[in-house]
Amino acid sequence: MELKRVVVTGLGAITPLGHTVASTWEGIINGKSGAGPITQFDTSKFKTHFACEVKDFDPLQIMDRKESRKCDRYTLLAIRAARDAITDASFNLEKEDLDRIGVIFASGIGGIKTFEEEVKSYSEERGPRFNPFFIPKMISDIAAGQISMLYGFRGPNFATVSACASSTNAISDAFNYIRLGKANAIVTGGAEAAVSAAGIGGFNAMNALSTRNDSPETASRPFSASRDGFVLGEGAACLILEEMEHALARGATIYCEVAGAGMSADAYHLTASHPEGLGAKLVMKNALEDAGMRPEEIDYINVHGTSTPVGDISEAKAIKDVFGEHAYRLNISSTKSMTGHLLGAAGALEAIACVIAVKEDVVPPTINHEEGDNDPEIDYKLNFTFNKTQKRIVNAALSNTFGFGGHNASIIVRKFVR
Where do the structural domains in the chain lie, given as residue ranges?
7-249, 262-414
Q: Is 246 a catalytic residue?
A: no
Residuewise pLDDT in 10s, the chain (418 residues)? 799 999 999 999 999 999 999 999 999 999 999 999 999 999 999 999 999 999 999 999 889 999 999 999 999 999 999 999 999 999 999 999 999 999 999 999 999 999 999 988 877 766 677 889 999 999 999 999 999 999 999 999 999 999 999 999 999 999 999 999 999 999 999 999 999 999 999 999 999 999 999 999 999 999 999 999 999 999 999 999 999 999 999 999 999 999 999 999 999 998 888 888 999 999 999 999 999 999 999 999 999 999 999 999 999 999 999 999 999 999 999 999 999 999 999 999 999 999 999 999 999 999 999 999 999 999 999 999 999 999 999 999 999 999 999 999 999 999 999 8
> Half-sphere exposure of 338 toward its Cβ, with a 13 Å CA cutoff?
28
Q: Do domains 7-249 and 262-414 have the same CATH topology?
A: yes
- Contact of 225 with 368, CB cutoff 8 Å: no
Phi first, then psi, for residue 134 (nearest 5°) are -55, -55
The catalytic position among 341, 354, 369, 407 is 341
CB 175 within 8 A of CB 183: no
Residue 304 annotated as catalytic: yes
Catalytic residue among 71, 164, 238, 354: 164
| Residue 127: per-residue pLDDT | 66
Do residues 228 and 374 lie in contact, with contact meaning Cβ atoms separated by under 8 Å? no
* Strand residues in 169-297 grouped as ranges (E): 185-192, 235-243, 256-265
Return the number of other C-beta atoms located less than 10 Å from residue 393's C-beta: 10
Which residue spans within 29-115 are E strands per DSSP?
36-37, 50-51, 101-106
Q: What is the pLDDT of residue 22?
A: 98
Architecture of domain 262-414: 3-Layer(aba) Sandwich (3.40)
Fold observed for domain 7-249: Peroxisomal Thiolase; Chain A, domain 1 (3.40.47)
Let me know if 164 is a catalytic residue.
yes
**Predicted pLDDT of residue 209:** 98
H or E element in which residue 319 lies: helix 309-323
pLDDT of residue 125: 64
CB 170 within 8 A of CB 157: no
Catalytic residue among 19, 274, 304, 369: 304
Q: What is the per-residue pLDDT across 255-268, written as a single tens digit (0 to 9) for each?
A: 999 999 999 999 99
